[in-house]
């Protein structure tokens, strides 16, 4: 297989994932730049989260056909894999409350958690609808692309750590338009962007561990992604809490690397996927989904 044959789907996926999301975010970008009169709906930001998912589905259909789409569907509905789904859902919550305890020790007072799980950006949705939207648009919307398509295709040709580095870089660059209209990003300078990349990288190490360890469970990853977004955006007014939370995620990511090694980042072999048009059986992703 030529290098171009397996790289082409990855280039196509990346271009589509970036392009689809960025086009959806364009009204907010235009408002922030003063190109149009506002206000642009905040929900463009939410809907743009589906760019990687749509790109992943299109690329999978083009290069792997219906067999590839069936694999993605099975991975995304692995409801019986309760152990990894629980890790995905509660892992970020546990790390968040570790950060809460650290904040209590450092500041001498407990952070305000009266609005735990709420969103300042999407306050009109209410907590329940916000959680569901987060799971759909950011959880599945991103993870079907980043980990369901991009990661296994990279892991077919390299070890888990370099594959994770590439995913983290593409994932970080996908957020570039957010620096024009998302309040938490607008104030960042170059050093902040580098720090953001490393925060995505340590999170990506944990996600690769979940993906490979579970045999490719995208439901667990969507739950993890949504839970992480919900907790990290909880309004508490404590800068120390978010610093401690970032540190807890970083330590967890490094622990995964040290514990499982750079080849697979998990106790199980890394999950791969055929990267050319194929009629092979769907056995590649069968682990854990019987």
Distances (CA, A) of 219 to 75, 81, 194: 7, 9, 29
Alpha-carbon span 118 to 179, nearest angstrom: 22
In a domain, 119, yes or no: yes
Of residues 124, 252, 249, the one with CA closest to residue 241 = 249
Predicted confidence at residue 188, as pLDDT, reads 80
Alpha-carbon span 131 to 246, nearest angstrom: 21
Alpha-carbon span 231 to 100, nearest angstrom: 11
Range of the domain at 42: 3-285
Name the stretches of the chain with pLDDT < 70. Answer: 1-4, 274-290
Predicted confidence at residue 184, as pLDDT, reads 77
Predicted confidence at residue 286, as pLDDT, reads 35
In a domain, 72, yes or no: yes
Predicted confidence at residue 6, as pLDDT, reads 75
Structural domain count of the chain: 1
In a domain, 65, yes or no: yes
In a domain, 87, yes or no: yes
Render 176-219 in DSSP notation, one character per residue: TTHHHH-HHHHT--HHHHHHHHHHHHHHHHHHHHHHHHTTS-HH
Alpha-carbon span 168 to 185, nearest angstrom: 17
39: preceding bond cis by omega (within 30 degrees) = yes
In a domain, 181, yes or no: yes
Predicted confidence at residue 274, as pLDDT, reads 52
Alpha-carbon span 194 to 169, nearest angstrom: 10
Of residues 83, 81, 91, the one with CA closest to residue 253 = 91
In a domain, 290, yes or no: no
Q: How many CB atoms lie within 10 A of CB 290?
A: 5
Predicted confidence at residue 173, as pLDDT, reads 96
Predicted confidence at residue 4, as pLDDT, reads 67
Looking at the chain, the number of H-run helices and the number of E-run strands are: 13, 0
Distances (CA, A) of 49 to 19, 81, 88, 137, 265: 12, 25, 19, 5, 26
For the chain, the first-to-last Cα distance in angstroms comes to: 31
pLDDT digits (tens, 9 = 90+) for 144-198: 999 999 999 999 999 999 999 999 999 999 999 999 998 778 878 788 888 889 9
In a domain, 163, yes or no: yes
39 CB-contact burial (10 Å; exposed 0-12 / middle 13-18 / buried 19+): exposed
In a domain, 148, yes or no: yes
Alpha-carbon span 213 to 208, nearest angstrom: 8
In whole angstroms, what separates CA 16 from the centre of its chain? 17
Do residues 8 and 275 lie in contact, with contact meaning Cβ atoms separated by under 8 Å? no
Alpha-carbon span 133 to 50, nearest angstrom: 11
Alpha-carbon span 205 to 164, nearest angstrom: 7
Alpha-carbon span 23 to 146, nearest angstrom: 19
The CA-based angle 41-50-16, given to 5 degrees, is 110
Predicted confidence at residue 280, as pLDDT, reads 40
Q: How many CB atoms lie within 10 A of CB 118?
A: 17
Predicted confidence at residue 95, as pLDDT, reads 97
Tokens matching residue 38? 């506002």
Tokens matching residue 26? 């364009």
Predicted confidence at residue 283, as pLDDT, reads 36
């Amino acid at each position: 297989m030529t290098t171009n044959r397996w790289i082409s789907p990855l280039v196509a996926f990346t271009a589509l994932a970036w392009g689809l999301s960025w086009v959806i975010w364009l009204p907010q970008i235009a408002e922030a730049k003063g190109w149009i009169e506002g206000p642009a709906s905040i929900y463009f930001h939410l809907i743009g989260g589906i760019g990687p998912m749509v790109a992943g589905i299109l690329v999978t259909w083009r290069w792997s056909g219906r067999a590839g789409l069936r694999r993605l569907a099975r991975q995304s509905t692995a409801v019986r894999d309760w152990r990894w789904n629980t890790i995905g859902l509660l892992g970020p919550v546990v790390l968040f409350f570790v950060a809460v305890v650290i904040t209590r020790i450092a500041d001498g007072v407990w952070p305000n958690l009266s609005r735990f799980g709420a969103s300042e950006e999407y306050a009109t949705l209410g907590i329940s609808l916000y959680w569901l939207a987060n799971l759909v648009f950011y959880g599945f919307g991103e993870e079907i692309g980043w980990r369901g398509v991009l990661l296994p295709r990279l892991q077919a040709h390299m070890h888990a750590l370099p594959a994770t580095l590439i995913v983290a870089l593409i994932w970080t660059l996908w957020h570039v338009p957010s620096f024009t209209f998302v309040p938490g990003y607008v104030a960042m300078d170059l050093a902040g962007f580098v720090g953001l990349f490393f925060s995505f990288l340590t999170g990506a190490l944990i996600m690769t561990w979940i993906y490979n360890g579970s045999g490719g469970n995208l439901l667990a990853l969507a739950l993890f992604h949504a839970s992480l977004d919900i907790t990290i955006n909880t309004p508490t007014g404590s800068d120390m809490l978010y610093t401690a939370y970032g540190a807890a995620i970083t330590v967890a990511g490094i622990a995964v690397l040290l514990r499982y090694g750079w080849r697979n980042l998990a106790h199980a072999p890394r999950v791969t996927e055929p990267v050319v048009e194929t009629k092979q059986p769907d056995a590649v992703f069968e682990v854990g989904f019987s």
